[in-house]
Amino acid sequence: MSRNWDVQSCHDTVTFMVVIRNEIELGPALRERRERAGLTQAQLALRANVSRAFVIDIERGRRPRAELTRVLAVMRALDSAITLVDHQAQTAEEALADLLGER
């Protein structure tokens, strides 16, 4: 997992974002989020309607092909979401031109 947490603040709220580039990095990110939420694995499993063994396996990277609906249930229980980001390098001027529809 990339250790580049991005903290964004808007309207008195703070959003933590972490870059996950593969299935192996997902588990540690979910574990860190669960710990920040102050939840045990059992509490998270109950909220997500999955087994504690599933949460343990996801956090340890033992389920690289886990069912997406169950992974998303865990993420919803953590009040987290997936954000798709285009990682193409752009200059500030290019990004502004894209936003303004000038390119």
Q: How would DSSP label each residue in the chain?
A: -----EEEEETTEEEEE----SHHHHHHHHHHHHHHHT--HHHHHHHHTS-HHHHHHHHTT--TT--HHHHHHHHHHTT------------HHHHHHHHTT--
> Within a domain: residue 27?
yes
Q: Is the pTM of this model over 0.75?
A: no
The pLDDT, as a whole number, for residue 94 is 83
How does the average pLDDT of the chain come out, rounded? 84
The pLDDT of residue 73 is 95
14 is in which domain, residue-wise? 6-99
Domain containing residue 50: CATH number = 1.10.260.40
Domain count for the chain = 1
Does the residue 33 lie in any domain? yes
Residue 1 lies in a domain: no
Does residue 10 carry a pLDDT above 80? no
